[in-house]
Amino acid sequence: MSLTLAIVGRPNVGKSTLFNRLVGKRLALVDDQPGVTRDLREGAARLGDLRFTVIDTAGLEEATDDSLQGRMRRLTERAVDMADICLFMIDARVGVTPTDEVFAEILRKRSAHVILAANKAEGAAADAGLIEAYALGLGEPVRLSAEHGEGLNELYEQLMPIA
Ligand code: GDP
Ligand code: MG
């Protein structure tokens, strides 16, 4: 059975950018059920010699009457329950926000394996955010730049022993 990795985190940290990088043109298995396609995207991912299914939690970016916190929690819990591993992404340039703390709490309670990734980490502007990321208590953050394709080796190193 194939391993499933869910990418979770607040809007705009770079989740979809990483999803697209891992999946490339192999976007597949899009569920046609109403609500599912929009909120969770699933694709066949490749990283080095690892093959796995990746889930992108989308749908948080859209404004609705429903509160972001509530949607975030439900969507994240759904993704976490579908996944073997969660990649929790923060924005290294922003550092750890109160919303990130909410995610960390959900993951600590609910997910067996969490990989912490501090994205947008290209350049020195990310150093303070990386130090903050350690304080989340979710292990050593992967220093990632999804946009520039940096840190994928580090991601591989953390993924490989679990996968
Ligand atoms: P999502 O809402 O978490 O899915 O975030 P997106 O993948 O849509 O990215 C949000 C914004 O961050 C976009 O403008 C991306 O181009 C930008 N972004 C994503 N990854 C990086 C990165 O590694 N470095 C920088 N500087 N920007 C990034
Ligand atoms: Mg997205």
Eight-state DSSP code of residue 151? S
| ipTM score over 0.85, yes or no | yes
Q: CA-to-CA distance for 48 and 10, rounded, in angstroms?
A: 27
Tell me the Ramachandran region of residue 81: left when phi exceeds 0, alpha when psi lies from -120 to 50, beta otherwise.
Answer: alpha
Ligand 2 (ion): which residues have CB within 5 A?
15-16, 58
Tell me if 32 is assigned to a ligand binding site: no
pLDDT digit string, tens, across residues 123-153: 888 989 999 999 898 999 999 999 999 999 9
pLDDT digit string, tens, across residues 4-23: 999 999 889 999 899 999 99
Residue 26 confidence (pLDDT): 54
Q: What are phi and psi of 103, to 5 degrees?
A: -60, -45
Question: Ligand 1 — pocket residues by CB below 6 A?
Answer: 11-17, 61, 119-120, 122, 145-148
Distance 57 CA to ligand 2 centre (A): 7
Residue 59 has pLDDT above 70, yes or no: no
Longest Cα separation, the chain: 43
pLDDT digit string, tens, across residues 40-52: 888 999 999 999 9
Better-predicted residue by pLDDT, 25 or 127? 127
pTM recorded for the entire structure: 0.90
Q: Which of 12, 17, 56 to mutate to test the pocket of ligand 1 (most atoms within 8 A of CB)?
A: 17
Handedness of CA 54, 58, 60, 65 (dihedral sign): negative
Residue 29 has pLDDT above 60, yes or no: no
